[in-house]
């Protein structure tokens, strides 16, 4: 993957961590169509690249994301807006690459939904969240699913109905935030680097397992878990991981080794 600069999204790959930074600070990183397209492309490119072990998501400037760009949304094709935002706000459902979000300042409406797509969310003490769409006559249908996944149906419904703002401590209590840190980007990078050092095969299989079991019954979940575990224990990464553990050294994952030329 080539790293570099896109107009509304800043990206770079370093030590298997692919950093995606929202880059419309003059607009409080509001999500316009261009940013949604570039975000979707960045996530999809990271998902396809074996050099990426973890995605780190953040926002440049004074806050994470203020939500949808309402000025543009009034003029844009609503179906096209829905299509692009659907790709962005459902990334947790289709990615098998771990996502860590580092949030500071406002993360409102679509910003809350985008942050909720992370598997791990580190927030600054000044972070503010809110499902504020009801204030402008909308219901957050696109961002509801990842928020509900994080906080549960009853809390997500209450947040949608009231449109109220809540801080990092409440977000931690609700389960949206996993950790509060004075420097969320620094802490997020530390977590992402640790994840990226793990077996790519195990990470991908684990997230796929979580995706599969969400709508299954107890017996089905057991069968899916059995097959997932069997596949992993038969794999070369598990063999190397257990050997490295016994030999008290860092594993060298076979799944990361270059394939021999044919």
Q: What are phi and psi of 71, to 5 degrees?
A: -65, -45
Q: What are phi and psi of 5, to 5 degrees?
A: -120, 130
| Mean per-residue pLDDT of the chain | 94
Average of per-residue pLDDT across 27-50: 95
DSSP 182: S
Q: Check if 38 is active-site.
A: no
Q: Which of 72, 75, 133, 230 is catalytic?
A: 133
Tens digits of per-residue pLDDT, 149-196? 999 999 999 999 999 999 999 999 999 999 999 999 999 999 999 999
Write down the pTM of the prediction. 0.93
| 27, 30, 173, 165 alpha-carbon torsion, rounded to 10° | 70
Is there a contact between 35 and 8 (Cβ–Cβ < 8 Å)?
yes
Angstrom distance (rounded) from CA 134 to CA 162? 7
Q: Which alpha helices (H) appear in 152-216, and where do they start and end?
A: 153-162, 168-174, 184-196, 200-213
Cβ burial of 186 (10 Å; 0-12, 13-18, 19+) is exposed
Strand 17-22 and strand 9-14: the pairing is antiparallel
Give the pLDDT of residue 21: 98
């Amino acid at each position: 993957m080539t790293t570099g600069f896109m107009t509304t999204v800043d990206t770079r790959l370093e030590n298997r961590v692919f950093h995606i930074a929202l880059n419309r600070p003059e607009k409080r990183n509001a999500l316009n169509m261009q940013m949604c397209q570039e975000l979707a492309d960045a996530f999809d490119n990271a998902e396809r690249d074996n050099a990426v072990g973890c995605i780190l998501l953040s926002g440049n400037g004074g806050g994470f994301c203020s939500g949808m760009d309402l000025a543009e949304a009034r003029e844009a094709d609503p179906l096209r807006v829905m299509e692009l935002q659907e790709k962005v706000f459902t990334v947790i459902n289709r990615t098998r690459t771990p996502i860590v979000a580092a949030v500071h300042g406002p993360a409102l409406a679509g910003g809350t939904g985008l942050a909720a797509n992370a598997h791990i969310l580190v927030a600054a003490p000044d972070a503010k969240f809110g499902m504020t769409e009801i204030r402008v006559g909308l219901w957050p249908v696109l961002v509801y699913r990842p928020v509900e996944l994080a906080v549960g149906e009853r809390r997500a419904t209450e947040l949608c109905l009231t449109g109220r703002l809540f801080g990092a401590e409440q977000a931690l209590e609700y389960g949206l935030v996993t950790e509060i840190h004075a420097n969320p980007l620094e802490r997020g990078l530390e977590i992402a680097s640790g994840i990226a050092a793990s077996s790519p095969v195990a990470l991908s299989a684990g997230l796929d397992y979580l995706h599969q079991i969400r709508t299954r019954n107890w017996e089905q979940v057991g069968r899916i878990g059995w097959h997932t575990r069997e596949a992993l224990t038969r794999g070369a990464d598990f063999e190397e991981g257990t050997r490295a553990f016994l030999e008290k050294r860092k594993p060298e994952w076979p799944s990361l080794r270059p394939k021999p030329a044919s």
